Copies of this chain bind each other. A is one copy, B any other.
């Protein structure tokens, strides 16, 4: 029995991400992908059931990779400020190291594939974070706010900064590069907001 060419599989995967980023889900087609990856269109249908399957599985894989990085070195039982700092570090690192991945993921977030991708990924993660937050409130480290308020204050600013960074520009098209200093400065403000 002949076995699958790992290099081709990887080529298809990587080129799919590039194509989605560069042309949008709109301009992404199976024939373009086949050409870009240097395989026959028919080969794609050996790896994936169909176009939907390809996109969905790609999104799930990238999402998992992202969440795994996020919780690297994180522990639910950490002091609040420390746990948040670890997550900021991790998320920032992943985003800065994997711009293609993140940009691709953003496309999928705003597409009809969203539901299928997220229902698979998010479950465990949300539970762990829920525990972390409730514990912080009990310990008087975190103002008692609804989970959604917490999440919006705690992470939306970070995501926004990274968005600017990946775009290379911020408000009013001003050029922007994300530095550790800016990151820490913002995290300090966030911690100030969340302290009881």
Contacts and interface: CB of A to CB of B under 8 A. Distances in A.
A152 to B, nearest CB: 4
B182 A148 contact: yes
A106 B185 CA distance: 28
Contacts of A126: 171-174
Interface in A150-196: 151-153, 155-161, 164, 170-174, 176, 182, 185-186, 189-190, 192-194
Contacts of A97: none
Q: Which of A156, A176, A182 has most B Cβ within 10 Å?
A: A156
Nearest to A28: B26
Interface string A97-124: 0000000001101111000001100110
Interface stretch (A3-11, A39-47, A139-147): A139-147
Contacts of A176: 148
A77 interface: no
Interface in A46-97: none
Contacts of A186: 145, 149, 152-153
A161 B148 contact: yes
Contact of A171 (B148, B170, B171, B172): B148
25 contacts: A23-B112, A24-B25, A24-B110, A24-B111, A107-B110, A119-B173, A122-B171, A122-B173, A126-B171, A126-B173, A126-B174, A129-B171, A129-B172, A143-B189, A145-B186, A149-B161, A149-B189, A152-B157, A152-B158, A152-B186, A156-B157, A157-B157, A189-B193, A190-B193, A192-B192
